[in-house]
Structure 1
């Protein structure tokens, strides 16, 4: 079984690879995330990674919320992604995930749970970004399984959480590919797999 740390590295690399092929003409394209352009989606992921890094390092909830309003991307989106993902990986690697509690804006949570949230965020937004620019949308199966296992138990209430879109549509069959079921669970509607 792939470790959470290795999965974080996998989804970080995958997200970074898609960012690396975005052209300046694509920064303002819409994404599957309502009201977010390509550049704003990248900013969201960078900000989330910076926030997680700070939380693992002992930041308070108030400090974490302040980071979410910070523009870390500037004029170098790929450089910002590289810096944020490297710092995040280092932060998680340096702590005892099982015994550290972080003051996340959504409530106190073990660092291990926060790591799971970051894996999910990077995985799903890697798909969003690929869909927006017409790139390969294939997701790594081991990361899909991990995020599914973490998220599926919340299916009955996921729409009420306000962070995963409208939740599952109820129209995707149980025998559909797991990536398709996960995307639907995360509020991505009418998804038909597409590759470059």
Structure 2
């Protein structure tokens, strides 16, 4: 696949992902630790907006600070679509005639620059998809094209600080490429309420636990077998946590793993206590959470054994 087609496919997929962002997801975390969803999208749209003047022969000095700041406005999806179309139209002729562009590090072949853009769209498209809980599968042909180009440039990127440490251990081509770009293919977005809930359980702080749950929250306990008990509403749920911490000798909750995907989360935990013989006993279990308006609306608990 030629580089113009690689760029077109990668940029169109990115536009599709931007259109899927819900209004409440723009400040969601992404695999780029310092960027939320809006910052990530603004970065890529900025690259597309830069593509047009650079392909026309302008320098970075010519463009100046005209593309600094927010480029998304009130309609990020339309801003991304418009910028992508303009960039796609701008790259074809310079690449076909073997033109050059002037980048921050000097003069570069237009085709090489478009490979860089295609790679950035592909990887940041994955970043965006996993951040918003969308389908994160990448076009295999685009993955192969970018991987072939990147294999001789990976250490240059890493040495320049453009990517993080390589993550190894993947046979799938898409995952291997993400690992080469310093991504963990198993990354999932965190959620403040899930993290704060885990911290509150670790402290045994019932007030802090309930602060992360909705007024109409639901809790299903692990006993009695086989279905547990169901408690509805904040008052009923609060009473269960109060009894647990008051009646259990030296209770301790530890979060072992938390995975968030959209409005659902799964948390693996270990609960331990001091037994009559002085030894600590424990069980391991899983909570299936439903999130609503930034809080935990439902906590369904399951335990091993």
The aligned counterpart of 1:116 is 115
Aligned 1:20-99 pairs, distance under 5 A = 20-64=19-63, 66-67=65-66, 69-99=68-98
The aligned counterpart of 2:146 is 147
8 Å Cα contact 2:48-2:84 kept in structure 1: yes
Higher strand proportion, which one? 2
Number of positions where the alignment pairs a residue of Structure 1 with one of Structure 2 = 190
SS in 2 for 1:153: coil
Higher helix proportion, which one? 1
The aligned counterpart of 1:188 is 183
SS in 2 for 1:81: helix
SS in 1 for 2:107: strand
8 Å Cα contact 1:155-1:167 kept in structure 2: no
* Distance in structure 2 (CA, Å) of the matches to 1:67 and 1:172: 43
User: Cα distance, 1:155 vs. partner?
Assistant: 3.1
More relative contact order, 1 or 2 (CA 8 Å, 6+ apart): 1
* Distance in structure 2 (CA, Å) of the matches to 1:27 and 1:193: 18
SS in 2 for 1:172: coil
Q: CA RMSD in A?
A: 2.1
The aligned counterpart of 2:214 is none
SS in 2 for 1:95: helix
Structure 1, residues 46-70: CA drift from partner, whole Å, max 9, x if none? 0001111110011112235635524
Structure 1 residue 172 and structure 2 residue 169: aligned? yes
Structure whose alpha-carbon radius of gyration is higher: 2
* Distance in structure 2 (CA, Å) of the matches to 1:93 and 1:27: 32
8 Å Cα contact 2:46-2:67 kept in structure 1: yes
Deviates more, 1:87-96 or 1:59-68: 59-68
* Distance in structure 2 (CA, Å) of the matches to 1:159 and 1:193: 20
Structure 1, residues 105-148: CA drift from partner, whole Å, max 9, x if none? 23211110111011101100100000101111100011111111
* Distance in structure 1 (CA, Å) of the matches to 2:142 and 2:80: 20
* Distance in structure 1 (CA, Å) of the matches to 2:154 and 2:89: 32
Structure 1 residue runs without a partner (length 5+) = none
